[in-house]
Amino acid sequence: MTTRRFDWPDLLFGLFLIAVAAGTFAATWRLAGGSAADMGPGYMPRAIALALLGFGLFFAGRGLLRGHAGIPRVQLRPILGVGASVGAFALLIEGAGLAAASLAAILIAACASRESRFLEVIPFGLVITAGAVLLFVKALALPVAIWPW
């Protein structure tokens, strides 16, 4: 007799999404839903909760039907690299400006992967930084300093 093993990560993630969707439905049950043409305050939360419910049912079903594939070991390098990147951006954005903070965040985040090649990351970082400046400062006119001066 063989015992059936579930894919616990998928099953638990699916159940979590189902619980979030149920909580959203419970929290918005008194709000008017309306229609797509005339949306009420409960329309979008319920629409998002419905999407979460669908994903939750998918992952829970997959977790029940599929055997456990195993969980890979936790890799500290990506966690620390991305965390340091976000922290550097938060610390630099006000003092050094958007351009320097964005470029620093991209260069630090590149350290999270052993596959990153800095001769490729530098032009990528410059293009993304220019895009961020154009989007946030020029197009959206947000009051963010580009440079520290």
Its pTM surpasses 0.85: no
Residue 4: the pLDDT is 65
Residue 53: the pLDDT is 97
Are the beta carbons of 9 and 71 closer than 8 angstroms? yes
pLDDT in tens, 92-140: 999 999 999 999 999 999 999 989 898 999 999 999 999 999 999 989 9
pLDDT in tens, 56-98: 999 999 999 987 766 778 889 999 999 999 999 999 999 999 9
